[in-house]
Amino acid sequence: MSTATTGQRSTRKTQIGFVSSRSGDKSIKVTIAYKTPHPLYQKVVNRQTVLHVHDEKNETKVGDKVEVMETRPISRLKRWRVVSVLQKAITAVGTAITESDVAAAVPTKTTKTETSAPAATPKA
């Protein structure tokens, strides 16, 4: 039979990665990039792992650096949950621009005035 535990849990895996997608309510994808040598040629190859993560508070945005922890299955793919947001993504505030703003900022092609080179003197 199974033995009762005294409230001790084994340590769970934690990973640090970047939010690459917000797929739905309380769901995100976290990309964890790492480098590993090629088995035959020993060249360093960039690899990445994508985790489906549960974000209970909907506090993350694309580009945030987050710490995730392994947990029980929450859905068909989600086996990880957000522990903390380590660094927020830098996002610029979007402002609408008009056609006249673009026209004022972009230099236009100007025509050359009648400035010709001095005429060559004929050789005698």
pLDDT tens readout for residues 16-34: 999 999 988 999 999 999 9
Q: What is the pTM of this model?
A: 0.66
d(CA 74, CA 52): 10
Q: What is the pLDDT of residue 87?
A: 94
| pLDDT value for 45 | 93
- pLDDT for residue 8: 82
- Residues 6+ away with beta carbon under 8 Å from 1: none
Residues of the chain with pLDDT under 50: 1
Determine the pLDDT at residue 73.
Answer: 97
